Amino acid sequence: MQRSWRFYLQLAFTLLVCAFLIVPVLLSMLAGITENVFVGLSSGFTTRWVLQVWDAYQATIWRSIFIALACLLVTAVLGVPLAYALARHKGGNSRLARVIEELLMMPVAVPGLATALALIMAYGQYRAFRGSLLFILVGHVLFTLPFMVRPVLAVMQSSQLAVLEEAAAGLGAGLMQRFFTVVIPNVLSGIVAGALMVVTLSIGEFNITWMLHTPLTMTLPVGLADAYASMRLEVGSAYTLIFFFMIIPLLIAMQWVAHSSRTRVRL
């Protein structure tokens, strides 16, 4: 079938938007392997900027991965039961459930700097806690918890979860048994979708982390800002290159897990 001119117009617009978003990122990554970014590609290619970043900032990379995975664990342990409680409370339509949902969204609506300042004012006097990674983890959990609750709650409300639970209860299954053998398998796609958002948001989160970090708890985005501010432009670009090579395989792997879980649910 012959495609109309509208198809090619939409395709051209889509490619233009993609180029607008991707080209600056590619140029930044290319600068990280260029000998002198101001001279251009004619100056030659090198890996010394990447090696310099790895030697100076590799601890921030492992620290960000650890915080992101810990944030995923905490949000899953807190978010899935919370979504389950909201779904059971008259399908999430009661006044109390709506109030709780709105309170959950407050850390997303409030600027990250304000959230971080509130944490510092509340817990800054505890020096050991203030100087630990746990302090940053608390800020990340506050910010990312809604992104775990919302997808799981949406799946629970759109599935026949109440019918399945009623059938399991009729067979003698208790609350905990129903939760782990009926609820969790049926909302796995929502959990994976929430996990994808939680991990990516935690790794790339800057505003809260910038306020809460110390020189010993610097994470990847804060290190990236430090590299751009205090070193050569090529060093900051090399940091960007390492960031993308770290995050892209993680995103692909989590997308694959999400696709596999949705396929199993359909089957």
The pLDDT value given to residue 1:
47
- The SS3 assignment for 34 reads strand
Answer positive or negative: Cα dihedral of 203, 209, 214, 220: positive
CB 237 within 8 A of CB 165: no
Number of domains in the chain: 1
Q: Does some domain include residue 8?
A: no
User: Per residue in 117-127, pLDDT tens?
Assistant: 888 988 888 88
Report the percent of the chain where pLDDT is more than 70. Answer: 85
Domain that holds residue 222: 50-266
Q: Does some domain include residue 86?
A: yes
The mean pLDDT value for 131-141 works out to: 91
pLDDT band of 92, cuts 50, 70, 90: very low
Q: Does some domain include residue 16?
A: no
Say if residue 74's pLDDT is above 90. yes
User: Per residue in 232-241, pLDDT tens?
Assistant: 778 878 888 8
Q: Does some domain include residue 132?
A: yes
Q: Does some domain include residue 120?
A: yes
Say if residue 91's pLDDT is above 60. no
The mean pLDDT value for 65-83 works out to: 91
Amino acid at residue number 150: R
Separation CA 163–CA 156 (nearest Å): 12
Minimum mean pLDDT range among 57-61, 106-110, 171-175: 171-175
Q: Given the structure tokens 């290619």, which residue do they identify?
A: 45
Q: Does some domain include residue 93?
A: yes
CATH classification of the domain holding 111: 1.10.3720.10
The pLDDT value given to residue 135:
92
Q: What percent of the residues of the chain are helix, what percent strand, and what percent coil, each to the nearest 5?
A: 85, 0, 15
Question: In Å, how far from its chain's centre is CA 91?
Answer: 27
Q: Does some domain include residue 36?
A: no
Q: Does some domain include residue 195?
A: yes
Which two three-digit tokens encode residue 86? 């909201």
